Chains A and B, each alone.
Chain A
Amino acid sequence: MTFDDVLTLLAAASITLGLSVAGIALGLPIGLGLALLRSARLPVLDQAIAALVSLVRAAPIVTLALFVFFVLPEAGLELAPIPAAVVTLTLNTAAFDCEIFRAGLAAFPRDQLEAASAYGLRPATRFRRIVLPQLWRASLGPLVSEMTIVLKGTPAVAVIGVVEITRAAGRIGAQTYEPLPPFLAATVLYTALIAVLVRGQRFAEARIARRYGYAVS
């Protein structure tokens, strides 16, 4: 493995990071929206979202990526590999985020909601000022776990031709006939990326514990 190969891997790491960040940033609000829609208990829509979330959660990311890349063009939506990869990761993580937020919303203390209504807060204000700040603090742990899963899921989108860390490592291995060193280097890169996320979570948890006096585990 030459110095150039290391640079190739680092460039691929930026693709992995970009894909993950895009998927997470898009997936979070979509997941929250789906969870809120479900908590409204609208007939038909509720069951439709539940079925969709169950199906997407059961779909392997590889299969989902192949589906998005090959099937959406038939519906007239032609996507280049990178946008298709972002759509795949977003769909996947949105379904899991939806379940995390739904659990958080279900566990939200009822008396607080009623108190807010009694004070005349409109539902939108109540959500923004009362529910959301506590919801995100309670969901932080599972959400970060889900983010690490997204990061670890990015190699799956290599099947549709995105050159991220794992695929770049595979290419270097094919060129040098020594697949092991690039794959071990890739392992170090992933471990570093995920360690940063987990550290960030611990840091945020410590701040929350200091400010609000309860630890969110």
Chain B
Amino acid sequence: MSGIATVWSYRDAFLAGLGNTAALVGLALVLSLPLAALAAVLLVEASAPVRRLGREVVDLFRCVPFLLLAYVIYYGLPEIGLRLGAWWAGLVALVLYNGAYFTEILRAAALSLPREAVEAGRAYGFSRAQLYGRIVLPLVALDAGPVIGNQIVVMIKDTALLMVITVQELSFVANFVNARAFAPFAPFATALLLYWVLCLVAEAGVGLIARERRRRYG
């Protein structure tokens, strides 16, 4: 019981940590999804050498552990004269890392689109921008919804690693409270539960997309 009291007395810290985690995930999503959509279009449309280079870059990001990428960005950017705080370095790492995964997800979904829809659009004289904006991207968004949802769950969990570069997110707070109060169970259990809630929210979002898809295409 005393554990619950401890967590309750640090509720502001926990809420701030949860807010930080949610803000990082939200902002990283808003930035990385459009970037990934752009990169995916490039990877389908560009000339062969550019495509190959792009694929190598995407694969490289997918081979590197997220924490290491965060370290390289946190310590590497000052070397090229860009001094970012831990929070912003963490955000950049999240955007680049997940952007690579989203690119791959969107590219795969675009390649498995039914040809008819695209050809019909072309036959109606759609310009390339219209083709992507009105036909390809909406279909891809609906098709890739569940996979993107999975990646968002991965993303939520990756933010926990940012505690190592001193971003004050949820795990950082739990560890801090544990160190202050010498009561490990309640703070970590609270953090795990809050992560679970965040993941359930993400899954509910995926459920909405799936329902929309069923409503439109049965």
Contact = CB atoms under 8 A, between A and B. Distances in A.
A183 B192 contact: no
Interface string A86-97: 000000000000
Given A71-B188, A155-B68, A180 B79 contact: yes
Interface string B61-85: 0011111100110011001000000
Contacts of A186: 68
A193 to B, nearest CB: 9
Contact of B188 (A61, A67, A151, A190): A67
A183 B67 contact: no
Size category of the binding interface on chain B: 35 or more
B196 A71 contact: no
B68 A166 contact: yes
B71 A170 contact: yes
Interface in A170-200: 170, 173, 179-180, 183-184, 186-187, 190-191, 194-195
A191 B72 contact: no
A165 B71 CA distance: 12
A166 B184 contact: no
Interface stretch (A35-43, A52-60, A206-214): A52-60
B171 A63 contact: yes
A215 B67 CA distance: 34
Interface in A47-97: 54-55, 57-64, 66-67, 70-71, 74
B6 interface: no
B72 A59 contact: no
B189 A62 contact: no
A66 B63 contact: no
Contacts of A57: 153, 199
Contacts of B196: 54-55, 58-59
A55 B192 contact: yes
A153 B153 contact: no
A183 B68 contact: yes
A159 interface: yes
A66 B195 CA distance: 14
B184 A155 contact: no
A154 B65 contact: yes
A interface, by DSSP: helix, strand, loop or mixed? helix
Interface residues of A, number: 39
A166 B68 CA distance: 7
B30 to A, nearest CB: 21
Contacts of B158: 60
B160 A179 contact: no
A156 interface: yes
B161 A190 contact: no
A63 B63 contact: no
A191 B63 contact: yes
B171 A71 contact: no
A132 to B, nearest CB: 26
Q: Which of A62, A169, A187 has the most CB of B within 10 A?
A: A62
A122 to B, nearest CB: 37
B72 A180 contact: yes
B185 interface: yes
Contacts of B192: 55, 58-59, 63-64, 67
A168 B164 CA distance: 14
A184 B72 contact: yes
B100 interface: no
Contacts of B64: 152, 187, 190-191
A58 B157 contact: yes
A63 B195 contact: yes
A62 B171 contact: yes
4 closest cross-chain pairs (CB), A and B: A60-B160, A70-B184, A60-B157, A179-B75
Given A58-B198, A155-B65, A190-B68, 20 more contacts: A57-B199, A58-B199, A60-B160, A60-B171, A62-B163, A62-B171, A63-B174, A63-B191, A63-B195, A66-B184, A71-B184, A155-B67, A166-B65, A169-B68, A180-B72, A180-B76, A187-B64, A190-B63, A190-B64, A194-B63
